[in-house]
Structure 1
């Protein structure tokens, strides 16, 4: 009888742990204006498991047509026209780089560029293997996502600022990355 009870308790605990490990996570960031009053939008993040990449989709309007750098910044503070979001999220201390580069060749923050069409709207879908919605060194929940005024040069600009920010310019909009309601733990 006692061994059956231990088995049942172990089975229940295993099920709870397995459910927790395999539970998907979803987050969102409502984009508010930074240095450009007309910028707004929504960015969604979805991760099916800790070992899977984060799927990122969004729609940001009020942009100038063309390429715009998109990065996760260190702080979740959106005040002072997004400047209080701090620098790029970079726990490994890497140089700025292109989004698809290897882990040691870019910031965790670096998502490359999104393209705003002639109406000023950037609709995009990305995925990232470095960022996570789960606990750990590369967790982006509670941080800010920032859309910049200019094209990100992906760290190839040949100057010090390129290695830090990609020369992406002013922070025209930003949003706090928060787990979607009901998924906080």
Structure 2
């Protein structure tokens, strides 16, 4: 959506969402399920101004705002609800960081058997995998076991020397976290 573009607002006495009929503005008052809210989404080709569509959005979604449309999507099927991300970064000795992010995701208008299903998205270096509840809980169990292995192995390492002149990036990051600072 172009900066400064405003959503056309109906007269104050017309409830949102609304639609235009032959007789003028008419209220469309769909029931919104508990745990959802109506949000405006700008839909249309990039060469057209687009149309504001009001869609149900889960309360956990941080992408869409009830106050303004988000960036334009080409089709309703392109709407994706995403929750807050939890991230961890691996910093290899060479190259860029490898991010691992997890978040809730939902494609409400996708035309397949999982339409509207919420799942856990695991984004590993920009490759996204989808997990339903059972698979996500199994993944979490595997991660806990993996973390225990990492801890067990790390505890066998000799103590870090406080006078060491060369520290690994991971040691430095851990030091900052333990001191309560991010940088």
Larger radius of gyration: 2
Higher normalized strand content (fraction of residues): 1
Q: RCO greater where, 1 or 2, for CA within 8 Å and sep 6 or more?
A: 1
What TM-score comes out, normalization by structure 1 length? 0.25
What TM-score comes out, normalization by structure 2 length? 0.25
